[in-house]
Structure 1
Amino acid sequence: MAAAATTFDPEAATQAYLATVKGAARVKSDGYFEGGYWLILWGAIVAILSDFIILQSRLSARFRDWATRVCKWRWLVPALYVIPYTIIGTLIMLPWTIYTCFIREKQYDLMNQSFADWALDQSKGLGVGIISAAVMFVIIFAVIRKSPKLWWLWGAVAMSAVLALTVMISPVYLAPLFNTYTEMKPGPVRDRIVAMATANHVPAEHIYVFDASKQTKRISANVSGLGPTVRISLNDNLLNRTTPAQTAAVMGHELGHYVLGHIPRMMAMFTVLFLLAFWLLSRIAPAIIARRGERWDVHGISDPAVIPLFGILATTFLFVLTPVTNTMVRINESEADAFGLEAAREPDGFAQTALAISEYRKLEPGPIEEALFFDHPSGATRIRMAMNWKAAHLAEVEAKAKAK
């Protein structure tokens, strides 16, 4: 193997791949992704301002009063509260959402939807968001009432359970609200996916294709769900815009997430974050209410009118922890990359896919930039990993190329 590797320079091969994206294409890719750095900051500021407006104007207290009048069951008041709260918050943030999620995507030629179709998807998302928030806050305030001192602990545990339930039902009940899922047609590409899945003990009775091309030009695939809802899905862009080798490389990566247990691992990691976030809420929110509660007409930590304050603190917490959460995800993605190279054994297909993703992800960031802002390995990192794998398996790769 060492002798074979000397005939192939993985770094030179990496640079050759990177050199294929240059000029206007590289400027466009870098501009899109680097602009996203600022969107993280401004998005947090806009969300905080939205919640502050709802608090400062006493809209939050009015929403609570309305929910209390309408509903005689105290436990259900938070569920009713979130209806006007979510709708008004969405309207306050609507100009920002339109710019970041529609106008900007159109400017960079990544969006395929008309504004009407985009707005319809946003409306569906709003409906899902209201129902999700209703369930979440009913649970949180029930826990606060039952355990005023340890609500942060039980609240975090409850949110972890809700997260697990959401992961389980999403592929069956939520994802189909936005896209049509159909069984992948028989053929060589499907056969190869099934072979990789079977070899790695991934359930492959059903492989779905969803019509993401009606919304975006991005390529994507996933192994989603938990337990009985686990399913393999890939979008039509992946099939239509990549070669069979690239598709196999992507699916090998996605199978890696399942085999390596990344979904339960991420849920465990987020449980730790929930614990920290809820503990901080239990310490900071009462102190703020003691100073500002009368001005906002918020009566205490068990008052649903405190929800915007929870939102402000949660947004701040998530913003500060962005590098941490990015790193958590990026480590899993890197592990799945390594698994995918072994499963698919398509290093050039993997490298070519990294180039395709460069339409919306910067290819060559600096190390600090990648650590702070990337929730996936950069294109350069991925191509270098693929070329190093190719160097270590050169005889196999060359024999396979000759067989074709």
Structure 2
Amino acid sequence: MTRMIAAACVAALLLPAVAAAKGFDVDTATRAYLDLLTGPARAKSDAYFEGGYWLILWNAVVAIIVYGALLASGGSARIRDWAERWTSRRWLRRGLYALAFTLVTAVLFLPWTVWEGFVRESQYGLMSQTFGAWAVDQAKGLAIALFVNFWFFVGIFAIIRRFRRTWWAIGAAVTIAFAALGVAIAPVFIAPLFNTYTEMPAGPLRDRIVAVARANDIPAEHIYVADASRQTKRISANVSGLGPTIRITLNDNLLNRTGPDEVVAVMGHEMGHYVLGHIARSILGLGVLALLVFFAVSRIAPRLIARYPNWGVRDVADTAAAPLFLALASAATVVLAPALNTLVRTSESEADAFGLDAAREPDGFAKVAMRLSEYRKIEPGPVEEALFFDHPSGATRVRMSMQWKKDHVPDARIERPVMTFD
């Protein structure tokens, strides 16, 4: 009886709050945010993101042209012959081929890389670097690629030669192992080559973030800030690393261009990736896709090598076959893009839900979703979102935030936010 009386008292106290929540209209609250982005700003956002749809195709086309040219001209075979003249050691030949191949393809891709990575970003006002600073970062990336490709080519072609029938499965596993190693060491050895990472300064905002982290059993001894503003206007945060190297980082644009409620909302989202183990799950998902690609390549490549002897490629274990493998993989990226997008978008949506529960800042998260419209189309159609978005769209995120607000904030009221967009 005592429990029943207590429950009745609690219900009586909650009735006004529940009634207020029921008066909160999710559609109206969502539209109040979405209607902030209009006119030229929305057109610019849509144009940038929709152009990315075509980039999926054009990146593959450019790659196929470059790799096809290396095959058809016999250039790949000549690089292999050069490596064979330098040393009799088979493993070193593969590594030397990788170095020369990486340099040659970097030069061949350079015009496209400049347009996509610098010119296009500058045209849409997202680039903060001069061309010289951007080129320095690209040179650093090339140096890393030379080192990684040397050892990857040594390993993958040794596997192809040793395991003639099952190399595609073992090769996929080795590729994912390389990727996992890269994820693990990136925060410690690679990311600092491009940005400076400092501890977030002490203060009320850090205290709030630490409180959210501790409430979810997340280590919060270190919260890093990257000086991403030297490169881009984009606001972002991320979870990087694997195992002992996992860390949560926010960029300085997030601190400088948003309010405390938005920062906490974003950090709650990133903590969701940590708690839900999304990095490991993403690697596993990519492993499945890699297995499919390797299997397809193992069936198609030998037939093409036999059909075009003028390429000078001896067999699939010949390093000169590398452009063929990469051309086929590039074609596969177009076919598998929706699956990859869905894999990532599912994790992002789960992190969104976790972040709303953890940070309890629905309006902060809605505002961040709107700010991301600088480079993400805010309101796509459902099919468009399913095919091309690797994150939930801004409209989806704002609606999720407003639904959470209705469900969890007793006195929820529709905000009339004031935001400006370039």
TM-score bucket of the superposed structures, by smaller chain? over 0.9
Partners in 2 of 1:30 and 1:278 — Cα distance? 35
**What displacement does 1:397 show?**
5.8
Name the counterpart of 1:236. 252
Partners in 2 of 1:346 and 1:139 — Cα distance? 48
Name the counterpart of 2:373. 358
Within a 5 Å distance, the mapping from 1:86-235 to structure 2 comes to 86-235=102-251
Higher Cα Rg: structure 1 or 2?
2
Within a 5 Å distance, the mapping from 1:296-315 to structure 2 comes to 296-315=311-330
- Do 2:18 and 2:410's aligned partners in 1 also have CA atoms closer than 8 Å? no
Within a 5 Å distance, the mapping from 1:38-57 to structure 2 comes to 38-57=54-73
How high is the TM-score relative to the length of structure 2? 0.92
Query: Residue by residue, what CA displacement relative to the aligned partner does 1:63-91 show, whole Å, maximum 9, x if unpaired?
Result: 11111122332012222112221122121
Partners in 1 of 2:18 and 2:214 — Cα distance? 32
Name the counterpart of 2:267. 251
User: How many percent of aligned residue pairs carry the same amino acid?
Assistant: 59
SS in structure 2 opposite 1:66? helix
The aligned amino acid for 1:22 is T
**Match 2:407 to one of 392, 399, 403:** 392
**What displacement does 1:4 show?**
3.0
The aligned amino acid for 1:363 is I
**What displacement does 1:396 show?**
6.6
Name the counterpart of 2:350. 335
**What displacement does 1:27 show?**
0.8
**Match 1:322 to one of 337, 343, 346:** 337
Higher mean alpha-carbon deviation, 133-142 vs 369-378, is at: 133-142
Query: Residue by residue, what CA displacement relative to the aligned partner does 1:221-273 show, whole Å, maximum 9, x if unpaired?
Result: 11211111111211000000000000000000001011111111111111111
Count of residue pairs brought into register by the alignment: 397
**What displacement does 1:95 show?**
1.3
**What displacement does 1:336 show?**
0.4
- Do 1:18 and 1:380's aligned partners in 2 also have CA atoms closer than 8 Å? yes
Partners in 2 of 1:102 and 1:196 — Cα distance? 37
Query: Residue by residue, what CA displacement relative to the aligned partner does 1:188-230 show, whole Å, maximum 9, x if unpaired?
Result: 1111222222222222221111100000000111121111111
Query: Residue by residue, what CA displacement relative to the aligned partner does 1:104-145 show, whole Å, maximum 9, x if unpaired?
Result: 111111001000000111111111112222222211111112
The aligned amino acid for 1:341 is L
Partners in 1 of 2:312 and 2:105 — Cα distance? 19
How high is the TM-score relative to the length of structure 1? 0.96
Structure 2: segments with no counterpart, 5+ residues: 1-16, 414-422
Name the counterpart of 2:419. none
SS in structure 2 opposite 1:321? helix
The root-mean-square deviation of aligned C-alpha atoms, in Å, is: 1.2
- Do 1:204 and 1:231's aligned partners in 2 also have CA atoms closer than 8 Å? no
SS in structure 2 opposite 1:219? coil
- Do 1:75 and 1:142's aligned partners in 2 also have CA atoms closer than 8 Å? yes
Name the counterpart of 1:261. 277
